[in-house]
Amino acid sequence: MNKKITVLAGDGIGREVTQWGVKTLELVGELFNHQFTFQDALIGHAAIEATGNPLPDASISACKASDAILLGAVGMPMYDNDPSLKIRPEQGLLKLRKSLGLYTNIRPIIIFKELQGASSLKSEVLDDVDILFYRELTGGIYFGAPRHRTDDGSKAIDTMVYTKMEVERIARKAFEAAMTRRKILHSVDKANVLESSRLWREVIQEMSTEYPEVRVHHMFIDNAAMQLILNPRQFDVVVTGNMFGDILTDEASQIAGSLGMLPSASVGDEVGLYEPIHGSAPDIMGQNKANPLATILSIALMLDSEFGLKEESKVIIDAVDLSLKLGYRTGDIADETTPADKILGTKEMGDQILSSMRAICTPKYA
Ligand code: NAD
């Protein structure tokens, strides 16, 4: 297989972690006889500095001409602390999602057994948790019009809009995913209050007749937020709107223990974008402290869902699992029981994953 990958390293720890994504793909190429070629493109603060634009047209063209996109993160503290700055890194990210029609954000919540202690939930609640979130990413209240503040500043308006088409296209992806898993789909809405949620529920109910094997549960967002930490094992695939998904997936990320462990995919009908869920972490940038595993696991997601390379994807996940079993940790997932010599920096953890991949593929290295 021959694939072209656009790398948008972005800001902060973005460059430190994406280089391990690239090295992981290069090794997959070597071990499985595929060829991956890489093209760097600008986004975020790095793009503003170089061109004055958080997402130059050249970056959009590069993404559109590639087979998959690897993104680090965008954002720097100078923007967070000065809302008056009109050109901002995150505008690049929103424009990218819209330009590429990335309407589905997929976030798997997988807990590596060795890290159950890193979660704030009791270990027995976390046994066998495996959730796949489908969050709608280009509609809902984050994009609806009108959205404004009255002239005297005393009233603000946001609008939640969903069309049947928008619900159908993400629901189709979620139903299809459920068919390949435990065949349980939770659809999360607020249909007891919101008209857009009543449409959401109606569409899911209509579509459920096409997937008779999938057990569909409708759940209100407030109950879902509670059930997620009470009994996360009950969930298999969860489909929900933009804002509800934003909140629920951040809550779910804590089930896995650290932001540094969770990958994500944003997909539409064309090229897909793969990125760790964390931000640019300027507090640790340039210090070799960033956990590269969320980015490396994003590559596993890319290989599986974008290119159908399941075996290659599994080797990466198994290599992460093996490295954790061997006791290696980055600072964010270490605890008081971790021996000092097992606490690794970004580079050392990256190297460890590569040697675990080699060991899994070629037993003579073990
Ligand atoms: P953050 O995710 O960058 O960091 C939160 C905390 O988690 C920090 O203490 C950080 O050091 C730690 N952390 C994050 N990733 C880590 C990793 N891989 N390894 C070890 N520790 C890690 O969130 P924040 O501090 O709220 O935001 C920082 C910047 O990132 C802001 O400018 C924000 O706008 C931006 N941001 C970007 C994205 C994105 O690009 N998708 C997402 C969220 C935040």
Residues 130 and 249 in one domain: yes
CATH number for 239: 3.40.718.10
**Strand locations in 169-269, DSSP E?**
184-189, 215-220, 237-240, 263-267
CB of 279 closer than 6 angstroms to any ligand 1 atom? yes
CB of 62 closer than 6 angstroms to any ligand 1 atom? no
| Per-residue pLDDT at 366 exceeds 50 | no
Residues 237 and 276 in one domain: no
**What is the reported pLDDT for 336?**
86
Ligand 1 atom 25: residue of nearest CA = 281
Which tens digit of pLDDT belongs to each residue from 67-105? 999 999 999 999 987 777 889 999 999 899 989 999 999
Structure tokens at 239: 């489909």
Which tens digit of pLDDT belongs to each residue from 337-351? 899 999 999 999 999
- Catalytic residue set: 142, 190, 222, 246, 250
- CA of 290 relative to ligand 1 center, distance in Å: 10
| Per-residue pLDDT at 271 exceeds 80 | yes
Q: Does residue 5 belong to any structural domain of this protein? A: yes
Q: How confident is the model at residue 255 (pLDDT cuts 50, 70, 90)?
A: confident
Q: What is the DSSP letter of 285?
A: T
User: How many residues does the structure list for the chain?
Assistant: 366
CB of 259 closer than 6 angstroms to any ligand 1 atom? yes
First to last CA, the chain: 27
CB of 74 closer than 6 angstroms to any ligand 1 atom? yes
Residues 168 and 233 in one domain: yes
Structure tokens at 79: 């923007």
Residues 241 and 194 in one domain: yes
Query: Is residue 43 helix, strand or coil?
Result: coil
Residues 236 and 130 in one domain: yes
How open is the CA angle 126-129-132, to the nearest 5 degrees? 140
Q: Does residue 42 belong to any structural domain of this protein? A: yes
**Strand locations in the chain, DSSP E?**
2-10, 35-40, 68-73, 104-110, 130-136, 144-149, 156-159, 184-189, 215-220, 237-240, 263-267, 272-276, 329-330, 343-344
Q: Does residue 65 belong to any structural domain of this protein? A: yes
Residues 293 and 197 in one domain: no
Q: Residue range 281-293: average pLDDT?
A: 97
Q: How confident is the model at residue 365 (pLDDT cuts 50, 70, 90)?
A: very low
Residues 230 and 340 in one domain: no
Q: Does residue 76 belong to any structural domain of this protein? A: yes
CB of 75 closer than 6 angstroms to any ligand 1 atom? yes
Confirm if 267 and 106 have CB atoms less than 8 A apart. Answer: yes
- CA of 185 relative to ligand 1 center, distance in Å: 30
Q: Does residue 113 belong to any structural domain of this protein? A: no
Structure tokens at 2: 């021959």
Residue 61 structural domain: 1-108+259-366
Ligand 1 atom 43: residue of nearest CA = 279
Query: Total structural domains in the chain?
Result: 2
Ligand 1 atom 10: residue of nearest CA = 281
Ligand 1 atom 42: residue of nearest CA = 279
- CA of 281 relative to ligand 1 center, distance in Å: 4
Last residue of a domain, one of 256, 290, 309: 256
- CA of 209 relative to ligand 1 center, distance in Å: 41
What are the residues whose beta carbons fall under 8 Å from the beta carbon of 212, sequence distance 6 or more?
Answer: none
Quote the radius of gyration of the chain (alpha carbons, Å): 21
Q: Does residue 114 belong to any structural domain of this protein? A: no
Global pTM exceeds 0.85: yes
CB of 332 closer than 6 angstroms to any ligand 1 atom? yes
Ligand 1 atom 27: residue of nearest CA = 279
CB of 293 closer than 6 angstroms to any ligand 1 atom? no
Burial of 329 (0-12, 13-18, 19+ CB in 10 A): buried
Q: Does residue 222 belong to any structural domain of this protein? A: yes
| Per-residue pLDDT at 25 exceeds 90 | yes
**Strand locations in 245-341, DSSP E?**
263-267, 272-276, 329-330
Averaged pLDDT score across all residues of the chain? 94
Confirm if 13 and 331 have CB atoms less than 8 A apart. Answer: no
| Per-residue pLDDT at 313 exceeds 80 | yes
Residues 289 and 187 in one domain: no
Residues 278 and 239 in one domain: no
Please state which of the ranges 20-24, 95-99, 286-290 shows the lowest mean pLDDT.
95-99
Q: Does residue 326 belong to any structural domain of this protein? A: yes
Q: Residue range 253-261: average pLDDT?
A: 84
Residues 248 and 160 in one domain: yes
Query: Is residue 350 helix, strand or coil?
Result: helix
| Per-residue pLDDT at 59 exceeds 80 | yes
- CA of 331 relative to ligand 1 center, distance in Å: 15
Count of C-beta atoms within a 10 Å radius of residue 218: 17
Burial of 349 (0-12, 13-18, 19+ CB in 10 A): buried
CB of 94 closer than 6 angstroms to any ligand 1 atom? no
Q: Residue range 170-185: average pLDDT?
A: 97
Residues 207 and 315 in one domain: no
Which tens digit of pLDDT belongs to each residue from 147-172? 888 989 899 999 999 999 999 999 99
- Indicate the residue type of 119: S
Confirm if 63 and 272 have CB atoms less than 8 A apart. Answer: no
Last residue of a domain, one of 203, 229, 256: 256
Burial of 149 (0-12, 13-18, 19+ CB in 10 A): exposed
Confirm if 188 and 226 have CB atoms less than 8 A apart. Answer: no
Burial of 301 (0-12, 13-18, 19+ CB in 10 A): buried
**What is the reported pLDDT for 364?**
52
Residues 67 and 1 in one domain: yes
Distances (CA, A) of 30 to 3, 23, 303, 315, 360: 13, 11, 14, 13, 14
**What is the reported pLDDT for 259?**
85
Given ligand 1 and candidates 278, 283, 344, which is best to mutate, with the most ligand atoms within 8 Å of its CB?
Answer: 278
Last residue of a domain, one of 208, 231, 256: 256
Which tens digit of pLDDT belongs to each residue from 104-127? 999 999 889 888 877 888 888 998
| Per-residue pLDDT at 136 exceeds 50 | yes
Instruction: Report the atom number in ligand 1 closest to the C-alpha of 295.
Output: 18
Confirm if 185 and 175 have CB atoms less than 8 A apart. Answer: yes
